[in-house]
A and B are shown apart, each in its own frame.
Chain A
Amino acid sequence: MTDSALIAKFAVRQGDDALVLGHRLSEWTSRSPFLEEDLALTNVALDFVGRARMFYQYAATLTGGDANEDTFAYTRDAREFSNLLICELPRGDFAFTICRQYLYDAFALPFMQALMKSSDQQLAAIAAKAEKETKYHVRRDTDWMLRLGDGTEESQGRMQKALDDLWGYTGELFDVDDVDRALIAEGIVPDVSLLRDQWLETVSDTIARANLELPQADWKAAGGRDGIHTESLGFLLAELQSVQRAYPGLKW
């Protein structure tokens, strides 16, 4: 693959992570525990959908032809989506949503900071935008982790369960494949496998402060980057893409 094809692939992966996670967050709109939290989750969803657009738009300019942000979002099937599995898991209860968000954002912050140093100017510019928003997200997620973990017996139990259920999906955040290796060699993308220690340190600290226990998962789920997904992605896409599937090419 040429460099631009590799970068496009990387950008689509990032766009897929952001779109799928953003969609999961948007499912809370009008269903959150209280009004302020409804606004907050919807705003975070908006940040992620915005992030997806930046990556898809860039991928489209590299791909050329008829590709645009909408064709990436609305006309591909589950097998063609390359998001990490952690992003697609059903939203669960509020503890699960917050815990997933925290584990992902705690990774996204050092990742975006490293991507800001990319030799590819557009990727660096996108990362600089995403990094500012991620800092804010991490602060909010951490507050909730502490509040729920160190809260009532009920909230602590739910948070611990969410953490245990999610832990096996976090390994995939740090996987590197041939696409990554080619881009890492040229200084275009960071080596995510090197970010694991820093992530674990940050996350362990929060987990301890939240009065929760660090899970000892002996399993790891992976395959998202190759289009091997859990069954829930298909249902998510069926809803996300329903209008474009029923009326192909429809304009707003």
Chain B
Amino acid sequence: MVVDEANVIPLLPVEELERRQRRINSECPDLWRILDDVMDPEIPVISLYELGVLQDVSERDGHVHVLLTPTYVGCPAMKVMEEDARIALEAAGYPDVTVETRLSPAWTTAWLSNEARSKMAAYGIAAPDSEAAQCPQCGSEDVQQISEFGSTACKALFKCNACAEPFDLFKAI
């Protein structure tokens, strides 16, 4: 059977679908919107929601509960993300906040939306999962890996052979 690629609906991982539904069906859309301003401290163009770290937010009697899942368990930015979420909610008038970190479902780069990937590339970080790594500066696929690890646990270091620029690639896990 010939599959017309234009008609293929990309399948979302189940956990990601559930996460998006939690937001759509949420009784406190305002809280999700407040947290949309909380960015990844290392990639300040992607919000915690876009990154997939923000799993749920709920409110009862003025008490706000935020559920996060870590990207890499040893990532020092996780603590900053917790603090930033707390500060954003406090500034918006919710001083009573609990941030819970849950390991399951395990975070994966498969949850990143296409928008998030584009923002990442525009910021200079090649997005994960693409068939071939692409230079975020000139778009060339003629690239080489310099190191399996880059400036943070989530990135690998690459170099573009076409424009000679070094760049980070967000590791697919």
Most chain-A Cβ atoms within 10 A of its Cβ — which of B150, B153, B173? B153
Most chain-A Cβ atoms within 10 A of its Cβ — which of B147, B150, B151, B152? B147
Tell which of A37, A121, A132 touches B173, judged by Cβ atoms closer than 8 Å: A132
Tell which of A39, A49, A143 touches B74, judged by Cβ atoms closer than 8 Å: A49
- Please tell me the size bucket of the interface on A: 20 to 34
**B123 CB to nearest chain A CB (Å):** 20
Assess whether B153 is in contact with A43, with CB atoms less than 8 Å apart: yes
Number of residue pairs A-B, CB distance < 8 angstroms: 71
Chain B contacts of A42 at CB under 8 A?
A: 149
Tell which of A49, A122, A128 touches B106, judged by Cβ atoms closer than 8 Å: A128
Assess whether B72 is in contact with A47, with CB atoms less than 8 Å apart: yes
B145-166 contact mask (Cβ, 8 Å, vs A): 1 or 0: 0111111110001000000000
Chain B contacts of A125 at CB under 8 A?
A: 102-104, 106
Assess whether B150 is in contact with A128, with CB atoms less than 8 Å apart: no
A97-137 contact mask (Cβ, 8 Å, vs B): 1 or 0: 00000000000000000000000011011101110110110
Assess whether B73 is in contact with A129, with CB atoms less than 8 Å apart: yes
Q: How far is the CA of A48 from the CA of B72 in the complex (A)?
A: 10
Assess whether B104 is in contact with A50, with CB atoms less than 8 Å apart: no
Assess whether B103 is in contact with A39, with CB atoms less than 8 Å apart: no
Tell me if A44 is interfacial: C-beta within 8 Å of chain B.
Answer: yes
- The SS class assigned to the A binding surface is helix
Tell me if B119 is interfacial: C-beta within 8 Å of chain A.
Answer: no
Assess whether A126 is in contact with B103, with CB atoms less than 8 Å apart: yes
Q: How far is the CA of A134 from the CA of B70 in the complex (A)?
A: 16
B90-119 contact mask (Cβ, 8 Å, vs A): 1 or 0: 000000000000111111100000000000
Tell which of B70, B105, B108, B147 touches A40, judged by Cβ atoms closer than 8 Å: B147
Tell me if B171 is interfacial: C-beta within 8 Å of chain A.
Answer: yes
Chain B contacts of A37 at CB under 8 A?
A: 147
Tell me if B43 is interfacial: C-beta within 8 Å of chain A.
Answer: no
Tell me if B75 is interfacial: C-beta within 8 Å of chain A.
Answer: yes
Q: How far is the CA of A134 from the CA of B171 in the complex (A)?
A: 13
Tell me if A210 is interfacial: C-beta within 8 Å of chain B.
Answer: no
Most chain-B Cβ atoms within 10 A of its Cβ — which of A48, A125, A130? A125
Assess whether A132 is in contact with B108, with CB atoms less than 8 Å apart: yes
Assess whether A39 is in contact with B73, with CB atoms less than 8 Å apart: no
Tell which of A46, A126, A135 touches B153, judged by Cβ atoms closer than 8 Å: A46
Tell me if A36 is interfacial: C-beta within 8 Å of chain B.
Answer: yes
Tell me if A188 is interfacial: C-beta within 8 Å of chain B.
Answer: no
Known contacts: A124-B104, A126-B103, A133-B173. The answer to whether A51 contacts B73 by CB under 8 A is yes
- 7 intermolecular pairs with C-beta atoms under 8 Å apart: A39-B150, A43-B152, A46-B76, A54-B103, A125-B104, A129-B103, A140-B149
B positions within 8 Å CB-CB of A: 70, 72-76, 102-108, 146-153, 157, 171, 173
